Structure 1
Amino acid sequence: MSGATAPLVQVEGIGRVFGAGETAVRALDGVDLSVGAGEVVGLKGPSGSGKSTLLNIIACILEPSAGRLLLGGETVWDGAWRVADLRRLRRERIGFIFQFHNLLPFLDATDNVALAMTLAGADVGTARARARDLLDYLQVGHRATAKPARLSGGEAQRVAIARALANRPRVILADEPTAALDSERARVVMDLLRQVAREQQAAILVVTHDEKIFDRFDRMVALRDGRLEAVA
């Protein structure tokens, strides 16, 4: 399957076992999932069902025990890692959004976003200019010089989204991005993610327990005991 037509995220028969022998725990068991360009998919399930494990495998942080992982049609893992520089892949092709914004407290909003680009090799001037453009795009440009302690929860999460978009990733992974927000701010954040998916043709996978945003997804998938249980 070519990269032009393949889903941006594709996992085939993914398994993950922690430990060995009688103490082995099968965190994932034959999971198949794909996320296409422009699509926002929610991943739900009880604690311990394997959601974070799956997210970390797609992020190329955790190695699967079985199956195959493709990003943009390229095989990334198939019995072994097939990409020489995983850190570069994560920097350039994957954006991360977390429950807590994890912004650096001593940097303002602009520099928090620009840092992601300078770490990937961009010059400071270019990075800061794109950071300001992203903050404007996410309707928080007026807070460009504010440090995280002076941002509201919703503003901080928008800055975190800008940071995730900094290197123009086509795959965006979010782990409970609205759990710390009230209903109104949670819906705003999800609407922004939907806008990003549509306008930048990104694939977005969101781990969430947050029922108030379920209607913001193109579809939901559910994990239970390491297996994909339902698609809605």
Structure 2
Amino acid sequence: MSNALGEIPLVHVQNVSKHFGEGETRVDALRDISLKVHPGEVVALLGPSGSGKTTLLNVIGCITEPSNGWVSLDGEVVYDGHWLRSDLRKLRLEKIGFIFQFHNLLPFLSSTDNIAVVLSLAGFDKDESKRRAIELLEYLEVGHRKDAMPANLSGGEAQRVAIARALANRPRIILADEPTAALDSERAGIVMDLLRKVAVEQEAAILAVTHDEKIFNRFDLIFHLRDGRLDDQDI
């Protein structure tokens, strides 16, 4: 964990709450959450079903608007009682990469094109998009599968391509929702080692929701959520 004293966190959440509904139907999904994730850190969000893990990940990912609180991403305050950016899609493209339990690769595109399409959305031209995509596949040690279709990839290979896609626009914040749940122990370890490599070499912050006990020892910090509240943290 590379947490230098005074280092500005890439993810900084203060007093964030989120409720759905009002009156008797109100559900408090998050209650006064505060946390920080620094460059180079790989951090887990743990908790039982319904504890608020995915809601918190979606708040940090600028998908779900909090009911109140304050959120800073990569040194920019993005929420302070309301969103401070009008184009949240652009904000996500600039700052955040998403990894999911299932790779969600487009089945009709090759590994390279699954990554290049994200870069095209961000405004890169076709040649630059493909060059960057192949560079990322090589970085994650699946360059030899650059022309393969998703149906022909192993589970571990598909998840590496999905990680490459998440890194396409060079975000410094990676949000992962159960990134190893569909993998066996060996492949899960490989994926976590790759995420560690990304965190250290690209000075990124990685925040993962997980129930996967076989990877608990791979995290710098574990945040425990229960009933929307944050318990003490374990290192």
TM-score by length of 2: 0.96
Tell me if structure 1 keeps the 8 A contact 2:10–2:39. yes
CA contact (8 A) 1:110 1:128 kept: yes
Paired with 2:116 and 2:145, the residues of 1 have a C-alpha distance of 14
Listed one character per residue, the Cα deviations across residues 195-229 of structure 1 (whole Å, up to 9, x for unaligned) are 00000000100000000000111111110000001
Cα deviation code 1:25-84 (max 9, x no counterpart): 000000011100111001100000000000000000000001101112211111111112
Equivalent residues in 2 for 1:78-157 (5 A)? 78-157=80-159
Letter of the 1:108 partner, please give it.
S
2: CA distance between counterparts of 1:123 and 1:216? 37
Select 1:58's aligned residue among 60, 65, 70.
Answer: 60
> Stretches of 4+ moved more than 4 A in 1?
none
Is the CA contact (8 Å cut-off) linking 1:223 and 1:230 kept in structure 2?
no
Identity %: 66
Would the aligned equivalents of 2:102 and 2:179 in 1 still touch at CA under 8 Å? Answer: yes
Alignment of 1:167-182 (within 5 A): 167-182=169-184
Distance 2:130 2:192 in 1: 25
2:37 maps to what in 1? 35
Whole-Å Cα distance in 2 between the matches of residues 220 and 17 of structure 1? 24
CA shift at 1:172, angstroms?
Answer: 0.4
Give, in whole Å, the separation in 1 of the partners of 2:108 and 2:134. Answer: 18
Which consecutive unaligned segments of at least 5 residues does structure 2 have? 1-5
Distance in 2 between residues matched to 1:6 and 1:85, nearest whole Å:
24
Matched-pair contact (CA < 8 Å) for 1:31–1:228: yes
Aligned partners of 1:72, 1:92: CA distance in 2, in Å? 10
Aligned-pair CA distance for 1:6: 1.8
> Equivalent residue for 1:192?
194
Q: Which residue identity lines up with residue 74 of structure 1 in the other structure?
A: E
Aligned residues: 229
Residue 67 (str. 1) matches residue 78 (str. 2): no
In structure 1, how many angstroms separate the alpha carbons of the residues matched to 2:232 and 2:52?
Answer: 14
- Partners of 1:61 and 1:220 lie apart in 2 by 23
Counterpart residue type for residue 152 of structure 1: S
2:232 aligned counterpart, secondary structure: strand
1:207 equivalent among 197, 205, 209:
209
CA contact (8 A) 1:16 1:28 kept: yes
For 1:133 and 1:230, locate their aligned partners in 2 and report how far apart those are by CA, in whole Å: 40
User: Alpha carbon RMSD of aligned pairs, Å?
Assistant: 0.9
Q: Which runs of 5+ in 1 are unaligned?
A: none
Tell me, yes or no, if the aligned pair for 1:53 and 1:62 is still in contact at 8 Å.
yes
Deviations 1:122-161 (A, max 9, x none): 0010010010010000000000000000000000000000
- Give the TM-score, by structure 1 length: 0.97
